Structure 1
């Protein structure tokens, strides 16, 4: 077995960038656009403004994290940043949260959405139980793919990222100049008209945070990126800017084609008619096929990061039985024990996702949205660290050392506040649960010699 310190540098700048774009641009923008419009009362320009606010967290957050990546000598991406710039115990706390909550909750929800899209493609009216079962089979396949061949996982990430941009850019480019009449809302669907929502638009920040999340996952492969200080820095700058541009063009194009009332009324089904408008009678099948590949790319990117988390923690002795977990298989060049740990945790959260959807306790939200909100709260520590580095003269640039972290902090606090008001009781309960997981990781490493 190889030791964890001998990881090869497999990935270049293109893969690091496509991993950011591929994870961030995925299912969220396709099935969260109607949520944004509902919370804004159908006000398209307010929705655009909120996307820009959400971008504060990803663009300036990534620029701020870049200052740490340039100065870090620790392996493990963001876990290494916490270890080097705060403490090993805090790094362990955040690592436990990412391993046991963040990655798996995102993975199960996206896999579930992918299953829904598959049933939609074949016009099958599936039960929640069948959706969850197929979702579990989907992420199982992706786990096997990445465990057996890191090259296949990387190639699939690159290809799926390019493919997923096709429907987005098509809708963005054609829809932006669309001059046709907006479609009629089907008679069997309740019409939702534009309205004044007051401060209710703040709740739109939760689905927007979901749509933008994922960029930090790319740091989990930092130690496997060629020339990481250069390539990861460029990827963390270029990737988020591309994401914001694509999102704004898609959101505006979709509203130009369908109208906000049609999107609000039909919800996630709004995308179904776009294919027919653009490509004719078979347009829905073609467009949905592209979207499914796009979502599979997200699952692949999240899984690629997730299976490495137990190994990263084990390499730093932050997990029980670390010596066994951190061993890298000489053929597959990944820790198979880490893969199994990540897989069974994800399987557990798929069951929990089924329970929350069946009972409706999250009031239209899902477990991944809440864990994403908590993660933004965790990044605040790193943003403050960058401010301190500027104060101590380690960072010379005012833009990089003050403006970027302050804007990243503002974006993080806005998302935290907006998300909590969507469902105060359960969001706060889940945040407390995430804090408890962090506490376990903190105590475990504190008690280690």
Structure 2
């Protein structure tokens, strides 16, 4: 009977698993991080290529390592469940608090803001920080409402936006192959940012790259639903990141060929606007911007969809205050309204923090989400070390999956973590310590709640 149940649950094949990885990873980052990569590398095109490759390197070996945990995992909650089953419930609670109160809401705040940026460009609205944040706030409310009121509607939009986001990326990449025109001139009133030698400062480009590649761990949550997971999931976790790397590199190189590094560094997020104009005439930038806005909103919808459920997942394990209320599922809406309110409130707080950091220029060319993503990579090292321990004890038999993958995964995470510090040492140090504090509070909260249960 157990085998029959297992077979009924295994309904995804290699193609579906690969498509899920590609669909999750390719998001907003590539549209507004190319200029950051070039700025941090001093306009060195090939150094930027190296940074993209390092990002893919970290995904491939990291994800292959975690499959050894995912195929053995019996709990829910995705990567939080790995900490619960293979490390400890206290550590799981700590990481769950980080994801619920820092990771997801910082992503929501930043992606909402990015949607505001591109909406300003689309409708020729004054592109100020205040306007960007106001539009972002409206989008955030809209997609929270959509996902609370109708689960299916949110799912339909997610599927459509996944296909739409590939059109501008692959289109620019293919057209650039045959592009022979010279690079455009820097617009009047825009300060020229010239190429320069940045030394080891190029490591800072790993922070925006981590943002562009983020989301790969979500794909691991379907491992138990994949047919022959040891074979199909392993292959998907090799080919998926390679496909993402191919799309990213061709877009990055295509954009650079058409516009030139100095134009992209000087105009920043508005660089892609020029490509639409060059390809499709005066209305081309609007057409391209429509695709980009839909793509960004699709990512926002997906992150909100995941964030809505995080407080409920923690509450169901008694890992947060008010667990009984937050864990309660509304039978009509099929989600926890308490969980949705917690998620929205925390995201709203982080939107205010993001606005303040951007207003003060506290993080240079970066943002709050990059640091939380970099911190996540550091947290994954704990799981990589666990797999090394499982190989030593004979639980994992493969030398490749038990030694080579976790060692390279640790190296990849370490490089990205160091790159995060190089981008802005003072503020990154402060923010990483804050992330650690959130984890520590969650860790001790679970210990306290367990003692209360025993009494």
TM-score normalised over the length of structure 1: 0.92
- Which residue does 1:211 correspond to in 2? 212
- Which residue does 2:453 correspond to in 1? none
* Cα 1:330–1:227 shift into 2, 3 Å: farther
Measure, in 1, the Cα distance between the counterparts of 2:313 and 2:219. 14
* Cα 1:90–1:195 shift into 2, 3 Å: same
Contact 2:94 2:441 in 1 (8 A): yes
Pairwise CA RMSD: 2.3
- Which residue does 2:4 correspond to in 1? none
Deviations 1:37-88 (A, max 9, x none): 1111211111101100011222221221111111101111101000011000
Deviates more, 1:385-394 or 1:328-337: 328-337
- Which residue does 2:411 correspond to in 1? 410
Measure, in 1, the Cα distance between the counterparts of 2:181 and 2:205. 29
Measure, in 2, the Cα distance between the counterparts of 1:132 and 1:163. 24
Question: In the TM superposition, what is the alpha-carbon distance from 1:356 to its structure 2 partner?
Answer: 1.3
* Cα 1:237–1:84 shift into 2, 3 Å: farther
Deviations 1:89-125 (A, max 9, x none): 0000000000000000011101001011001111111
Structure 1 portions without partners, runs of 5+: 1-8
Structure 2 portions without partners, runs of 5+: 1-8, 451-455
Deviations 1:107-158 (A, max 9, x none): 1101001011001111111432232121111011111222222222222211
Measure, in 1, the Cα distance between the counterparts of 2:356 and 2:386. 39
Deviations 1:370-414 (A, max 9, x none): 111111111110111111112222222222112211111111111
Measure, in 1, the Cα distance between the counterparts of 2:324 and 2:228. 28
1:356 is the counterpart of 2:324: no
- Which residue does 1:398 correspond to in 2? 399
Question: In the TM superposition, what is the alpha-carbon distance from 1:199 to its structure 2 partner?
Answer: 1.2
Measure, in 2, the Cα distance between the counterparts of 1:191 and 1:365. 20
Question: In the TM superposition, what is the alpha-carbon distance from 1:229 to its structure 2 partner?
Answer: 8.0
Deviates more, 1:113-122 or 1:323-332: 323-332
Deviates more, 1:261-270 or 1:425-434: 261-270
- Which residue does 2:130 correspond to in 1? 129
Question: In the TM superposition, what is the alpha-carbon distance from 1:238 to its structure 2 partner?
Answer: 4.7
Deviates more, 1:181-190 or 1:199-208: 181-190
Deviates more, 1:388-397 or 1:414-423: 388-397
TM-score normalised over the length of structure 2: 0.91
Measure, in 2, the Cα distance between the counterparts of 1:117 and 1:250. 18
* Cα 1:154–1:21 shift into 2, 3 Å: farther
Which residues of 2 match residues 53-202 of structure 1 at below 5 A?
53-202=54-203
Contact 2:17 2:226 in 1 (8 A): no
Deviations 1:330-373 (A, max 9, x none): 23222221111111111111111111112222223211111111
* Cα 1:172–1:120 shift into 2, 3 Å: same
Partner of 2:423, secondary structure, is: coil
* Cα 1:80–1:310 shift into 2, 3 Å: same
Partner of 1:448, secondary structure, is: helix
* Cα 1:146–1:241 shift into 2, 3 Å: farther
